[in-house]
Amino acid sequence: MDQVVTHLPSSRSGKIAQAIRYLILISLVVNVTQSFAQTIPVGSIGLEDYYRRAQLLGEVDPAVSFTIRPVSPTQSFGRKDIFYPDSLVQRRNFLGIEPMRINSSKIKTVILPFSFQAQTNTHHAYGWNDGAMIPAKGLQSVVSAGLYAEWGPISLQLRPELVNASNSEFETFDKDHYDIIFARYYDYYNRIDAPVRFGTKAFSKLYLGQSSLKVNYKGFSAGFSSENLWWGPGMRNALLMTNTAPGFNHLTINTDRPFKTAIGAFEGQLVAGRLDGSGFGVLEPEKDYIDGPLYFPKRDDWRLFSGMVLSWNPKWVPGLFVGLSRSKQMYSDDITGAGDYFPFFSTVKKADADAGLEKKDIRSSLFLRWVWPEEQAEIYGEFGRDNVVRSARQAALQPDRGRAYVVGVRKIVNLSGGRGHKLMVHIEATQLQQTQVDDVLGAKSWYVNSYVRHGYTN
């Protein structure tokens, strides 16, 4: 989901920021050597890719799809130390302090590793798969630390994230364009909450980050979470859920390891949560065109988001995973019944002249991942549609309208020399661009919507 942020009150933010500093200090002096069922945050490239490569090499459970993340290596693979999975990697304990574990007969607690990420954009705002970071020029950073605790079936993962960005000024859309160019520009930005710049000052924001409170039982979990989610087999992109934005507060019911049955293994997740707008406008909301304003302020209302994803590994085809995902969002004032809280209770209407009056913004996708450990390779793909289902005739004449896809292939190549060196070859392609002339001229995009004018953003 795209990037959107809101500010915390300064007094509350200051107290929480002080608390996170203490967590960071503890994490800096503690070397974690034992883990329980905590998850690897989405975007932990080295760790996530390590376990996925290990599956290609036949070293971990082949029934794990990696299409529903975050994953818990302890639950999925039986790893006791998820942050040091390779026994050949030397541990670092610079201060010589023993690992901290607070274990009693009822409560087990470990300190999570400290994380620091930084990036700088020298010319203009840009960001992609960077979690809580905002698209901004200049230097910005995200720091995170926390703890994980288990008490019987109850687990608590507290891992807040603190973002600081210089958010420097940069040259934006040329103000000397013809009015018709501005009109097309606002055709897009009136239907999505994607600020060019997040305010005019330095930006600071504290998130709950990769935190959760769940009840766990026999491979299933239910509770509250603010973690980033990733749905789909893609490594660099996915259609419905990625970490291009911060995680959002949501209720979740999910599997934390493959649920094995007589017809194969299943993984799934069902979520419902609240999305808020950014609070930032576009470039020049006062600009007019043909005696009317170009910018229309978005509705002052939060959005209900619900979504589901399901993956199936048929027992007859080892290494094959097929699945589907679906999302729905709507303004809270438009909620009319309990069915609005579940994505699978909504029908998607055929496209017609009144399609803009549809009060729900719906997307769905089908995906596939096929792993061949003997070849140390995998192929994967995801195909999605936004909002409308057309007749068979329309689908045959315009199969690419309102669609998006991700396809990829990965192959581990053994290098000569006998030292166990390997090379990963990876290609991934993503297509979101509209291909129909009227869609392009109408400034349509896969993530905009004419009624839910915040678009598919968080």
Quote the number of domains for the chain: 1
C-alpha dihedral over 159, 239, 219, 38, to 10 degrees? Answer: -20
Give the single-character DSSP code of 37: S
| 341/257 Cα distance (integer angstroms) | 25
- What distances in angstroms separate CA 244 from CA 189, 203, 290, 380, 383, one per listed residue? 18, 17, 37, 21, 19
| 324/160 Cα distance (integer angstroms) | 30
Question: Does 264 reside within a domain?
Answer: yes
313 CB neighbour count, 10 Å cutoff = 24
| 203/343 Cα distance (integer angstroms) | 34
| 294/291 Cα distance (integer angstroms) | 9
In this prediction the pTM is 0.85
Question: Does 140 reside within a domain?
Answer: yes
Question: Does 411 reside within a domain?
Answer: yes
Q: What's the angle, vertex CA 354, arms to CA 183 and CA 276, rounded to 5?
A: 65
Question: Does 56 reside within a domain?
Answer: yes
Question: Does 448 reside within a domain?
Answer: no
| 120/124 Cα distance (integer angstroms) | 10
| pLDDT (0 to 100) of residue 43 | 85
| 165/217 Cα distance (integer angstroms) | 40
Question: Does 219 reside within a domain?
Answer: yes
Decide: 324 and 368 in contact? Cβ < 8 Å.
Answer: no
| pLDDT (0 to 100) of residue 395 | 64
- What distances in angstroms separate CA 365 from CA 97, 307, 322, 371, 389, one per listed residue? 49, 12, 11, 20, 12
Q: Give the three-state DSSP class for 431.
A: strand
- What distances in angstroms separate CA 228 from CA 1, 2, 96, 267, one per listed residue? 10, 12, 33, 17
The residue segments making up the domain with residue 140 are 10-441
Question: Does 366 reside within a domain?
Answer: yes
Question: Does 231 reside within a domain?
Answer: yes
131: closest CA among 14, 248, 48?
248
Map tokens 């329980």 to a residue: 36
For the chain, state the CA radius of gyration: 23
Q: Give the three-state DSSP class for 272.
A: strand
Residue pLDDT tens, the chain, 458 long: 544 433 333 444 555 555 555 444 444 444 444 546 678 889 887 888 989 999 999 998 899 999 999 998 877 777 777 776 765 556 655 444 444 555 566 888 888 888 899 999 999 988 889 999 999 999 999 999 999 999 999 999 999 999 999 999 998 877 777 888 888 888 888 899 988 889 889 999 999 999 999 999 999 999 999 999 999 999 999 999 999 999 999 999 999 999 999 999 999 999 999 999 998 887 776 777 777 888 888 999 999 999 999 999 999 999 999 999 999 999 999 988 887 887 766 555 554 544 445 788 999 999 999 999 999 999 999 999 887 555 566 666 777 777 899 999 999 999 887 677 899 999 999 998 876 656 555 546 789 888 999 999 98
Q: Give the three-state DSSP class for 412.
A: strand
The partner residues of 322 in beta bridges, in order of sequence, read 312, 368
Element (H, E) at 138: strand 136-151
Decide: 259 and 265 in contact? Cβ < 8 Å.
Answer: yes
